[in-house]
């Protein structure tokens, strides 16, 4: 935090001003590597011939390994990030989070 002088009707006052800094986004909203997104998108287009299909999260994580990701959670996050852009559908949820996805459409 730093202080700055601001004017209010001719008076100069020093007030604390909190500088905005861009935060690293976490979870769904953190921007993944663009190349990883492109590779995941290609795998999605090639993988699903019959739609709708239910895809277990473990299969999404395996797709991540195919495109070179080391962390299975990163593959699930990229898949989630591509929802509405590369695929449409719904998640099957449990108490721990989503366990599968119903892919109703793959967008080319």
Q: 20-41: per-residue pLDDT in tens? A: 444 444 445 555 578 888 899 9
**E-strand spans in the chain?**
2-8, 11-17, 53-56, 87-94, 97-106
Question: In the 8-state DSSP scheme, what is residue 83?
Answer: B
| pLDDT, position 21 | 46
Statement: residue 99 has pLDDT above 60: yes
Domain membership of residue 50 (yes or no) is yes
Domain membership of residue 4 (yes or no) is no
Domain membership of residue 6 (yes or no) is no
Provide the number of structural domains found in the chain: 1
Share of the chain above pLDDT 90, in %: 51
- The whole-number average pLDDT for the span 93-101 is 93
Domain membership of residue 23 (yes or no) is no
The CA distance from 64 to 41, in Å, is 11
Domain membership of residue 5 (yes or no) is no
Domain containing residue 75? 28-106
Residue predicted with more confidence, 108 or 81: 81
């Amino acid at each position: 935090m730093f202080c700055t002088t601001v004017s209010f009707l001719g008076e100069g006052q020093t007030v604390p001003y909190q500088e905005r800094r861009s935060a690293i986004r976490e979870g769904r909203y953190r921007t993944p590597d663009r190349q990883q997104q492109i590779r995941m998108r290609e795998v999605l287009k090639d993988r699903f011939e019959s739609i709708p299909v239910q895809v277990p999260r473990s299969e999404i994580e395996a797709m991540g390994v195919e495109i070179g990701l080391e962390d299975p959670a990163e593959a699930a996050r990229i898949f989630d990030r591509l929802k509405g852009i590369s695929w449409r559908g719904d998640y099957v949820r449990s108490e721990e989070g989503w366990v599968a996805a119903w892919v109703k459409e793959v967008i080319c």
